[in-house]
Amino acid sequence: MSVRELPTRRDLFKLGGLAAAALSLGACASTKPSTGGQGAAATALRVSLASDATTLDPHKQGDLPSMNVLINVFDTLTVRDTSDQLVGGLAERWESKDDKTWRFHLRENVTFHNGEPCDAAAVAYSIERLIDPATQSPIVELRLVTGAKVIDPHTVDLVTKEPDPILPAKLSLFGGVIVPPKYIKDKGDEFFAEHPVGTGPFTFEQWQRDSQITLKANPKYWNGKPSVEQLTFKVMPDPSSSLAALQSGELDVVTGLTPDAAQQLGDAPGFKVVTSPGVRTFFVSLDTEEGPLKDKRVRQALNHALDVDTLIKSVLNGAAERTPTLIPKQAFGFDASVQPFQHDVVKAKSLLAEAGHAGGFALKLSSSTADKDIAQAISGQLAEVGVKAEVSLLDPATFKGRLVSDNRKALGEMYFVGNSGWTMDASSNLQSFVRHDRRQSRWNNPEADKLIDTEEQSVDPDTRQEAFTALQKLMIEESPFLYLYQASILYAVSDRVQWKTNANGTLAMATAKLAGS
């Protein structure tokens, strides 16, 4: 049994985690550039979002735009700090009591914004609410949790039907948000979804749909009142408009930048574009069950046909790093000894000929319109070996709807997709796409299934790493995907903000500071 006593986020920052690594960026709060005044305008931070939140009920959303807002209103049991380490949130420490029980020891004297106590009963209520089928939560990370048991006012056990070695990591974002039982029971789910109450560093003020969400600093926050008095998320889908607003002083941080948009800022004084390592991996899913893609030699050929380094350089302006499979290098389970496919047109053509496709073939490559450039570039490279991949572009909502549907063929023979492993464990990158019975899997391989079971259920790190290594080698050999890259996180800021995101790219702004505040 292992017990971990972990520092708070603020403790880590005092020790130098933020001070040493924070970026001197920039912000002001009025509609004109601030001169460093001490009034409310000088302590307001305005951040752009590419899309609005879908709901402010943390248990009924599973998208990053919503979570980027909610992580500032609610706390989670565990937290990823800006150095990507798993540290204490509402839980000060935790331990594995047995293969199917994790015990969490909670901070004392923490209250929700309405004064309601945040104790073991609140944690148990939150976990039970999330996993209750009636909640219809899209959050899948707690699928193995069967319930929560209050041990004492500040201790709670989470019980699983199978061993879950990374449950504490799953509680650091979507799966670990704690909500107020009495408030929800009194006000109802619908009211709560538009007037959220949490324990977090900011309290909810106002939501103007498709426009902005306004939050206010929580003066009684258990981890210390934020330096920023007011935090406003402005919904601005157009990156060019967001950057123009940054330069005019209407915004302080522009998030979700594409490489092309990032170049627009150029060398404008007082602002900069920050490139930060990210863990979101991108790849092409292949239908391995029928047609030419059923032959692994064809799948290997397509991987050899792709010049991923050129894609990164020419389409993404270098804002990405190649991945051998689906796993980012920061995740537990990544094996650096597994090498990516070499770009080799001759070998690709040879494998195609060996598989009976010397003349090539035609198929469809589906993509969201947001990824049009990279999809078309991939199509162009495949054409060099005789494979005509017609790009089918779908609006983001339609693409996502087909992706999460029960029809695994809804996006055709190939589709380009990204997947964020925010738990920093390779299990998250693989869980939906590899085992044959998972929603987005289009690969039926008994050996892969067995390895997935091993890494998901074993509590021994060495056993899990062995399974992950074997999986990566098998994924190279069988090539059920076209392996591409992990994208960097791009955001633009004025030069008076001190703030740094982590590899998950979440917009937790509690540690943000403005010059003069």
The tens digit of pLDDT for each residue in 469-512 reads 999 999 999 999 999 999 999 999 988 899 988 888 899 999 99
Residue pLDDT, tens place only, 37-51:
344 456 899 999 988
Rounded to an integer, what distance in angstroms lies between the CA atom of residue 324 and that of residue 283? 10
Please say if the pLDDT value at position 155 is more than 90: yes
Residue pLDDT, tens place only, 287-322:
999 999 999 999 999 999 999 999 999 999 999 999
Element (H, E) at 208: strand 202-208
Q: Report the mean per-residue pLDDT for the chain.
A: 90
pLDDT at 516: 66
Residue pLDDT, tens place only, 366-397:
999 989 999 999 999 999 999 999 999 999 88
pLDDT at 235: 95
Residue pLDDT, tens place only, 234-271:
999 888 899 999 999 999 999 988 888 888 777 778 88
pLDDT at 517: 59
Q: Could you tell me if 94 and 103 are in contact, meaning their C-beta atoms sit under 8 angstroms apart?
A: yes
Please say if the pLDDT value at position 130 is more than 90: yes
Residue pLDDT, tens place only, 89-110:
999 999 999 999 999 999 999 9
Q: Could you tell me if 101 and 161 are in contact, meaning their C-beta atoms sit under 8 angstroms apart?
A: no
Distances (CA, A) of 270 to 32, 48, 264, 345, 398: 13, 18, 14, 46, 39
Rounded to an integer, what distance in angstroms lies between the CA atom of residue 250 and that of residue 412? 43
- The closest of 485, 484, 477 to 300, measured between CA atoms, is 477
Rounded to an integer, what distance in angstroms lies between the CA atom of residue 455 and that of residue 468? 7
pTM score, whole prediction: 0.82
Residues 6+ apart with CB under 8 A from 438: 431, 432
Distances (CA, A) of 247 to 253, 266, 402, 491, 517: 10, 11, 38, 14, 21
Residues of the chain with pLDDT > 70: what percent? Answer: 91
- Buried b or exposed e, range 198-235, using 16+ CB within 10 angstroms: bbbbbbbeebeeeebbbbbbbeebbbeebbbbbbbbbb
Please say if the pLDDT value at position 17 is more than 70: no
pLDDT at 293: 98
